C-alpha cells in the first residue's frame, strides 16, 4: 500500500521509535527525528500536566531550527502517545494540547475511542493504534484509527503473545492501511524482515533505552547492554497486565524472577496509578524500579547516542537488502 506522506516522505529508515514510559523525553525525540526516524514520547512523561506544552514547544522549535539548517534532509515527524484508558485523568487535557500543537502523529494505547481519533483528524493528524491481536485490530479501525501497530510476542512493555508472522498475516488479510510491527526488533535485518512479513514500518523501543539521550538510570542502560532474550521475564505481577521485564531488575528489587506468583489487580497502564510492590523492598515500582525491555536486546552491545544507534540500524538494513534483494 502507499503510506501517507507523514509516515514516508521524511523518513530515512522505515522506523517509528516507540514511546517509552519515563524513558523518552524531548532530547531523545529530537535526536530520533533529526536522525530520520519518527520519534515519540508518552504524554504522561511530561509531568506535571503543564509540562506537556513546554515539551511540545521545545520539540517543535528544535525541529524547525534543524529543518531551517538542513533543508535537503529535514527531520522526520514526531509522535505523542496517549493512554486511552478510563484511569487516565489527563486524557482530555492532553488531547486538547495535542490539538493545539497539531501533533502530526498520535499513538493511542490501551483503548480505542472514536472521539479521540476525530479530534486528531480535525487538524489533519493521523492516529496509530497498538493492538495485540486481530480482534482489537478490527475494533481500532472501526473506531477510525488510520494505522495499526501489531505488538507481537517479545516486545518490551505490555507485549502480546502472538508470533509476528501470525499477527501480521491475519491483519494484512483485510487491512491495507499503514501497519507497523513491534516486538524485539533491534537490528537492521529485523526491520527488513518486518517489511517482508507484511509490515510497512518497524516500531522499536528497547534499543533506545541504551541511548545517551534516554532518561534512564545508568544501571538500567548497562543492564540492557549486558542482557539477552533469556534475561527477559514475562509477568503480570507488576501491573496486572502481562509485560516483559529485565530479570536483573526484579532480583535487585528483592523478588525471585522465577517465583513471581499471582498478579496484582489489573491496572493496565503505564504509570497512571502505579503502586508499590509488596516484598523486601516495598518502594519498588513497575517501570521506575522493575525495568521493562523486549527480547531483542541481545543486539545492543554499548550505550550510544540515538544518532549512532540509528546509523548502525541503517547500515545493517542496507546490508540485509543488498544480500537479499
Would you say 25 or 296 has its CB closer to ligand FMN? 296
The secondary element (H helix, E strand) that includes residue 82 is strand 78-83
Site residues for ligand FMN per CB under 6 A: 18-21, 23, 42, 81, 109, 130, 151, 155-157, 182-185, 203-206, 270, 292-294, 296
Looking at the Cβ atoms of 74 and 227, the one nearer to ligand FMN is 227
- Looking at the Cβ atoms of 81 and 162, the one nearer to ligand FMN is 81
Question: What does the longest C-alpha to C-alpha distance in the chain come to?
Answer: 56
We find the least distance from the C-beta atom of residue 294 to ligand FMN, in angstroms, to be 2
Total residues found in the chain within this entry: 325
Rounded to whole angstroms, how far apart are CA atoms 204 and 294?
Answer: 10
How near is the Cβ of 34 to ligand FMN at its closest, in Å? 20
DSSP notation for 307-324: HHHHHHHHHHHHHHHHHH
Residue 188 and residue 59: Cα distance in Å, rounded? 27
Minimum Å gap between C-beta 72 and ligand FMN is: 30
- CB of 20 or CB of 75, closer to ligand FMN: 20
Measured from the CB atom, is 171 or 184 closer to ligand FMN? 184
- Closest contact distance (angstroms) between CB of 184 and ligand FMN is 5
Least distance CB 182 / ligand FMN (angstroms):
4
Specify the residue, 74 or 160, whose C-beta has the smaller distance to ligand FMN: 160
Type and span of the H or E element at 181: strand 179-182
Query: In angstroms, what is the minimal distance from the CB of 154 to ligand FMN?
Result: 6
Number of H helices, E strands in the chain: 10, 10
Cβ proximity to ligand FMN: between 74 and 244 the closer is: 244
Nearest alpha carbon to residue 42 among 78, 15, 80, 76: 80
- Least Å distance, CB 269 to ligand FMN, is 8
d(CA 27, CA 46): 13
Q: What is the DSSP string of 111-134?
A: ---HHHHHHHHTTT-EEEEEESSH
**Phi then psi dihedrals of residue 248, to 5 deg:** -60, -35
Strands 232-235 and 243-246: antiparallel
Amino acid at each position: 500500500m502507499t503510506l501517507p506522506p507523514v509516515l514516508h516522505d521524511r523518513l530515512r529508515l522505515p522506523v517509528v521509535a516507540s514511546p517509552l514510559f519515563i524513558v523518552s523525553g524531548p532530547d531523545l525525540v529530537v535526536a530520533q527525528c533529526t536522525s530520520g526516524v519518527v520519534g515519540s514520547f508518552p504524554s504522561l512523561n511530561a509531568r506535571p500536566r503543564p509540562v506537556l506544552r513546554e515539551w511540545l514547544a521545545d520539540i517543535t522549535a528544535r525541529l524547525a531550527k534543524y529543518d531551517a539548517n538542513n533543508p535537503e534532509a529535514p527531520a522526520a515527524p514526531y509522535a505523542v502517545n496517549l493512554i486511552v484508558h478510563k484511569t487516565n485523568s489527563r486524557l482530555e487535557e492532553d488531547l486538547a494540547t495535542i490539538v493545539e500543537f497539531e501533533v502530526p502523529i498520535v499513538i493511542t494505547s490501551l483503548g480505542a475511542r472514536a472521539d479521540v481519533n476525530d479530534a486528531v483528524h480535525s487538524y489533519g493528524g493521523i492516529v496509530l493504534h497498538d493492538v495485540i491481536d486481530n480482534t482489537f485490530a478490527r475494533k481500532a479501525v472501526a473506531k477510525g484509527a488510520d494505522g495499526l501497530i501489531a505488538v507481537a510476542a517479545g516486545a518490551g512493555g505490555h507485549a502480546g503473545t502472538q508470533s509476528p508472522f501470525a499477527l501480521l498475516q491475519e491483519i494484512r488479510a483485510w487491512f491495507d492501511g499503514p501497519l507497523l510491527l513491534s516486538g524485539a526488533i533491534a537490528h537492521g535485518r529485523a526491520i527488513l524482515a518486518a517489511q517482508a512479513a507484511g509490515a510497512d514500518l518497524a516500531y522499536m523501543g528497547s534499543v533506545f533505552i541504551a541511548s545517551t539521550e534516554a532518561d534512564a538510570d545508568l544501571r538500567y542502560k548497562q543492564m540492557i547492554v549486558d542482557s539477552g532474550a533469556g534475561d527477559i521475564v514475562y509477568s503480570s505481577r507488576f501491573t496486572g497486565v502481562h509485560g516483559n521485564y529485565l530479570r536483573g531488575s526484579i532480583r535487585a528489587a528483592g523478588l525471585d524472577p522465577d517465583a513471581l506468583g499471582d498478579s496484582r489487580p489489573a491496572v493496565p497502564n503505564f504509570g497512571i496509578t502505579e503502586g508499590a510492590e509488596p516484598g523486601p523492598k516495598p518502594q519498588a515500582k513497575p517501570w521506575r524500579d522493575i525495568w521493562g525491555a523486549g527480547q531483542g536486546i541481545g543486539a545492543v552491545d554499548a550505550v550510544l547516542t540515538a544518532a549512532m544507534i540509528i546509523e548502525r540500524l541503517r547500515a545493517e538494513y542496507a546490508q540485509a537488502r543488498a544480500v537479499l534483494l
